[in-house]
Amino acid sequence: MQPGKGHLMIQFDAVHKRFPNGTTAVHDLSLEMPEGGVTVLVGSSGCGKTTTLRMINRMVDPTSGTIRVGGRDVLDQDAADLRRSIGYVIQQSGLFPHRTVLDNIATVPLLLGHGRRKARARAAELLETVGLTAESGKRYPHQLSGGQQQRVGVARALAADPPVLLMDEPFGAVDPVVRTQLQDELLRLQKELSKTIVFVTHDIDEAVRLGDQIAIFRTGGHLVQCATPSELLARPADDFVADFLGAERGLKLLSLTPLKGIPQAPAPEGGTWELVLDGARRPLHWRTEDTELPVRPLSDADSLLAALNESIASPTGLVARVDADGALTGVTSRDEIHEHAGLAHAEARVA
């Protein structure tokens, strides 16, 4: 929980879910999700993370315990009305194949009785928000790529401007490159919209990337640990969590720390390797008399992990640092990066 990040939007209080066949999907869950934050639920399949998500908009009702959204017990509300007030992005988009993209996005405004013209105008606006062309609005879902369909799914969930967004493995079915793009876009959108997002995934990297807090579930519906990504990576509660975070747990933590603030020195001149710049002082490559090696310049927003990787790959052990325009500002040594990597861990341990 992040203190001071606004009040709680979603609260689970001693929630239990047993299905009629006897399996316990969620076991005595108490969990709080702050307003305007992204809570990621992770765990292997059958750990209850999806059931937890689906109890928020009453796609599943709890066996016991209370769930409050915006302070109100969900069971006191009409299920359909509640669902219209909560955005839902489903696995593999779940778009309506018989409706155009525009009408798919307009679904909830139409259910709310906003009128077709107004709903379509809003949908057209959202097409742009999620990075789709106005022309794609007239198409049918099957005419779009998987990544585009997911964007439509997000737009549809945002159409009635709900304060809460539920996302059930929304990027699970697209290839890694598109997935990274979609994650970036979600982070960009979230900066603008500040929704309370509950995001289910089994991909820990996705969780670390998107989450303000991460809740890790174990089979049988037990919540094992809920913490910020850096706290989780620095101080996993037990071996289960440590295993789940994977062998590169130490490196993953570095992905959360930006390069900003790490000292840089002027680029060396006259060594064996020379950093070649173009006319606008943008790094092109490392060069000796007979070879050229690629350089991957990093900006302040890039992570310590990227810097560590580049410092190992760089023939000089130096990382080229650039400003927003891509012009060289200086270099940082491998030693400097190592030192700050250690510091990042030390800070996370005590935070």
CB of 44 to another protein, least distance (A): 22
Q: Does 258 bind another protein (CB under 8 A)?
A: no
Contact 232/346 with Cβ under 8 angstroms? no
Q: Computed from CA positions of residues 261, 263, 266, 267, in that sequence, does the dihedral angle turn out positive or negative?
A: negative
- What's 267's DSSP letter? P
Within 130-149, the residues that bind another protein by CB under 8 A are 140, 142-144
- The two tokens of residue 252 are 């993953």
d(CA 185, CA 177): 13
Q: Does 218 bind another protein (CB under 8 A)?
A: no
Q: Residue count at the site for another protein (CB under 8 A)?
A: 26
| DSSP-derived 3-state class of residue 73 | strand
d(CA 155, CA 102): 10
Q: Does 102 bind another protein (CB under 8 A)?
A: no
The backbone torsions φ and ψ at residue 314, rounded to the nearest 5 degrees and listed phi first, read: -70, 135
**Is residue 157 within a helix (H) or strand (E), and if so which, with residue range?**
helix 146-158
**Residues 6+ positions from 45 with CB-CB distance below 8 Å:** 202
CB of 157 to another protein, least distance (A): 9
Strand bridging mode 213-218 / 196-201: unpaired
Residue 65 to residues 6, 17, 73, 75, 224: CA-CA distances in angstroms?
Answer: 24, 9, 10, 10, 18
Q: Does 151 bind another protein (CB under 8 A)?
A: no
CB of 258 to another protein, least distance (A): 37
Kindly tell me which residue out of 95, 200, 234, 307 binds another protein, with binding defined by CB under 8 A.
95
d(CA 223, CA 228): 15
Stretch that binds another protein, among 31-39, 92-100, 113-121, 255-263 (CB under 8 A): 92-100
Kindly tell me which residue out of 57, 150, 314, 332 binds another protein, with binding defined by CB under 8 A.
57
Q: How many CB atoms sit inside 10 A of residue 178's CB?
A: 17
CB of 88 to another protein, least distance (A): 4
Name residue 178's amino acid: V
Kindly tell me which residue out of 66, 77, 91, 329 binds another protein, with binding defined by CB under 8 A.
91
Q: Does 21 bind another protein (CB under 8 A)?
A: no
Stretch that binds another protein, among 30-38, 76-84, 170-178, 223-231 (CB under 8 A): 76-84
Q: Does 152 bind another protein (CB under 8 A)?
A: no
Q: Does 96 bind another protein (CB under 8 A)?
A: yes
Kindly tell me which residue out of 10, 15, 108, 344 binds another protein, with binding defined by CB under 8 A.
108
Q: Does 77 bind another protein (CB under 8 A)?
A: no
Contact 345/233 with Cβ under 8 angstroms? no
Kindly tell me which residue out of 11, 92, 136, 183 binds another protein, with binding defined by CB under 8 A.
92
For another protein, the closer of residues 16 and 99 by Cβ is 99
Query: Which parts of this chain interact with another protein (CB under 8 A)?
Result: 57, 59, 80-85, 88, 90-92, 94-99, 107-108, 111, 140, 142-144, 156
